[in-house]
Amino acid sequence: MDRSSLAAVIGNNSLENWKVIGAGGFGQVHKARHVNWGLDVAIELLRCDGSSASLHNEAEMMSKGASLHVIRILGVYKDCPPTCGPSIQLGLVMEFMERGTLESLLDTLSLHPPWPHPLAYRLAHQIALGMNFLHCLIPPLLHQDLKPNNVLLDDCLNAKASSRLLVLIRL
């Protein structure tokens, strides 16, 4: 995967097999296959109109949150999504997390994992590592909306904080 330009613009010519998988705080979330990278990605299309430049700046800022415990931003989507009509839309292209949200896992486990449980401790530890990483950056980034729905899980049930709501703290 070419990561030389983190906020690279990604269009339909690089994506196939679109599927709506949910709705985030900022717009509809899709899963698609990136044909050049050979991996599934999540695309959060933005509800509100914004400038492409401001989205690129946000993606660059969010890229500073690159950690094993924070979702990676792979680029900016700008094109006409096949599921949303003929208008050009903007969005963020992120790594796809196969197991969904911590909230859905808690629902599956009837709201609470049995305590003490190694999985519960591991997830809490991974979330804390992600937050610590963001807070230790210079300047620090704050998440602003940490909750089970914004913690995503990979296929091995490793936790990563969704990086969509990071705020740069000016010192």
Is-catalytic flag, 145? yes
Could you say which of 2, 40, 145, 154 is catalytic? Answer: 145
Nearest-angstrom CA–CA distance, 95 and 40: 7
Task: Give bridge partners of residue 42 from the DSSP assignment.
Answer: 31, 94
Between CA 26 and CA 31, with CA 28 as vertex, the angle to 5 degrees is 125
Task: Give bridge partners of residue 30 from the DSSP assignment.
Answer: 20, 43
- The enclosing H or E element of 105 equals helix 102-108
- Is-contact 27 46, C-beta < 8 A? yes
Contacts of 6 (CB under 8 A, 6+ apart): 59, 60, 63, 73, 74, 75
Active site residue ranges: 145
